[in-house]
Amino acid sequence: MFERVRLAVVALLFVGIAAGGMSAAASAADLWTVANVAVDGTANSPSAAKDAALARGRTKAWTEVFRRLTPSTEWQSQPQLTDEVLEPMIKSFDIANEKHSSTRYLATVTYVFNAASVRDAMRKSGIQFSESTAKPVLVIALTGAAWQPESSWGSAWSSQTRKGRLVPVAVPLGDAQDQSALATISTAADWSVVKPLADRYGAGSVLVAAQTRSANGIQVSMTHLRSDSRVPRSQAFARQGAEDETQLAARAAGSIADALQEDWKRTTSVDFGSQTTLSVMVPFRTLAEWVSMRKVLESTKLVQKASVEEMNMSVARVRLDYVGKLDQLQTALAQSNIYLAADDKGQWTLSRNASSAAAQSPNPVVP
């Protein structure tokens, strides 16, 4: 039987869970930043040319944010927002590389969107979208048969790590701890070979991508490794126009990284206009463990509100108000190694015990 707790204690232990007060992980925050947008505008005066360029840049940045959060099947439904609507959605922007004349303005701009404004625009348009961030995909980019981080191929993947994505891309540091493992990895590797690196970087999967030159471009042989699967494939990228080696590598890496997002976005995209309530038990052994579980709920975007109903020194009953389907909530929580499962009496429990949850839960799509 639960011991009732004072509201002051509950507030202290569970402060900040309401949707408006949730803290965001660094990777999630990057979703709202669109860096290095090239802008170009012409008008009858320098100030009007600048305004025109920045407005066009906002439209480009909006398209980028929209496509980050939605599967490609939704892209044709992107709301075409006027600049009067878009401008207040920008929280801040940073301008670099300005060039201007009396009638033309060029620059590179980084736009930071207000997350709440983007969500509101999506919901008003009835768009299903995702904010659930997956565990990273660790990419081991091989040039030929060797890991060469300074090559155009290695540099292209390093650049991908700085882009906001629902499935973040990570690359090895290449320090002494990595070197012995990297020396043995090829596209023929299996999970047991790459697992030490995956564990070190907190990756849910590892992509070994070997690039070789072809007559008119590059050929990429890939093996995508998870604990329960091994998927090989290859893809050719032909040189376009005056594209040099660096530009071709960057385009190829970006295309592959984008493809990694699709299954995840289709699986985790939800209708944020509907909400469901679930009562869950949260057992814990120490206050630190309880705080850790609380932080997972704070960072899980599908959880709109979590309220402590009852609590004692070892377990809490928490009411979760969440959006999306139950299996989507399970998948989102699993990215933080927290597992939601029901016992034979139908009581739902949040636990760090993956084995018990696996017996109860559907298999999620994990990048």
pLDDT value at residue 355: 52
Per the domain annotation, does 23 fall within a domain? no
Per the domain annotation, does 13 fall within a domain? no
CA 37/CA 64 separation, integer angstroms: 10
Closest CA to 315 of 348, 345, 343: 348
Per the domain annotation, does 52 fall within a domain? yes
Query: Which residues are registered as beta bridge partners of 208?
Result: 140, 223
If asked whether residues 100 and 150 sit together in one domain, one would say no
What backbone torsions phi and psi does residue 233 show, to the nearest 5 degrees?
A: -165, 170
End-to-end CA distance of the chain: 41
Query: Which residues are registered as beta bridge partners of 170?
Result: 138
**Number of domain units in the chain:** 3
If asked whether residues 156 and 205 sit together in one domain, one would say yes
CATH code of the domain containing 285: 3.30.70
| Structure tokens, 286 | 């120490």
If asked whether residues 45 and 101 sit together in one domain, one would say yes
Range of the domain at 163: 137-268
If asked whether residues 225 and 181 sit together in one domain, one would say yes
Positions of the chain with pLDDT under 50 = 1-29, 356-366
If asked whether residues 155 and 215 sit together in one domain, one would say yes
pLDDT value at residue 164: 87
Around 91, how many Cα atoms within 13 Å sit in the side-chain half-sphere?
A: 11
Per the domain annotation, does 91 fall within a domain? yes
| Structure tokens, 29 | 């925050």
Mark which of 124, 149, 178 sits at the end of a domain.
Answer: 124
* Cβ atoms of residues 179 and 197 within 8 Å: no
- pLDDT per residue as tens digits for the range 23-76: 323 333 488 999 999 999 999 999 999 999 999 999 999 999 999 999 998 899
Per the domain annotation, does 192 fall within a domain? yes
Farthest-apart Cα atoms in the chain, separation = 76
Per the domain annotation, does 20 fall within a domain? no
Kindly report the number of other CB atoms within 10 A of residue 235's CB atom. 14
pLDDT value at residue 224: 96
CA 224/CA 4 separation, integer angstroms: 49
Q: Burial code of 315-354, b = ≥16 C-beta within 10 A, e = fewer?
A: ebbbebbbbbbebbbbbbbbbbebbbbeeeeeebbbbeee
CATH code of the domain containing 72: 3.10.28.20
If asked whether residues 290 and 177 sit together in one domain, one would say no
Output 80-84 pairs: Cβ under 8 A, ≥24 positions apart: 81/121, 83/55, 83/58, 83/59
pLDDT value at residue 5: 40
Per the domain annotation, does 314 fall within a domain? yes
Mark which of 92, 124, 156 sits at the end of a domain.
Answer: 124
* Cβ atoms of residues 188 and 179 within 8 Å: no
Per the domain annotation, does 255 fall within a domain? yes
CATH code of the domain containing 225: 3.90.950
If asked whether residues 255 and 282 sit together in one domain, one would say no
Is residue 126 left, alpha or beta, with left meaning phi > 0 and alpha meaning psi from -120 to 50?
left
If asked whether residues 161 and 256 sit together in one domain, one would say yes
pLDDT value at residue 345: 82
Mark which of 268, 285, 318 sits at the end of a domain.
Answer: 268
If asked whether residues 190 and 240 sit together in one domain, one would say yes
pLDDT value at residue 181: 86
Burial of residue 119 (number of CB atoms within 10 Å: 0-12, 13-18, 19+): middle
SS3 string, the chain, reads CCCCCCHHHHHHHCCCCCHHHCCCCHHHHHHHEEEEEEEEEECCCHHHHHHHHHHHHHHHHHHHHHHHHCCHHHHHHCCCCCHHHHHHHEEEEEEEEEEECCCEEEEEEEEEECHHHHHHHHHHCCCCECCCCCCCEEEEEEECCEECCCCHHHHHHHHHCCCCCCCCEECCCCCHHHHHHHHCCCCCCCHHHHHHHHHHCCCCEEEEEEEEEECCEEEEEEEEEECCEEEEEEEEEECCCCCCHHHHHHHHHHHHHHHHHHHHHHHHCECCCCCEEEEEEEECCCHHHHHHHHHHHHHCCCEEEEEEEEECCCEEEEEEEECCCHHHHHHHHHCCCCEEEECCCCCEEEECCHHHHHHHCCCCCCC
Closest CA to 336 of 151, 134, 198: 134
pTM given for the model = 0.70
What backbone torsions phi and psi does residue 41 show, to the nearest 5 degrees?
A: -145, 145
If asked whether residues 197 and 232 sit together in one domain, one would say yes
If asked whether residues 277 and 247 sit together in one domain, one would say no
If asked whether residues 213 and 281 sit together in one domain, one would say no
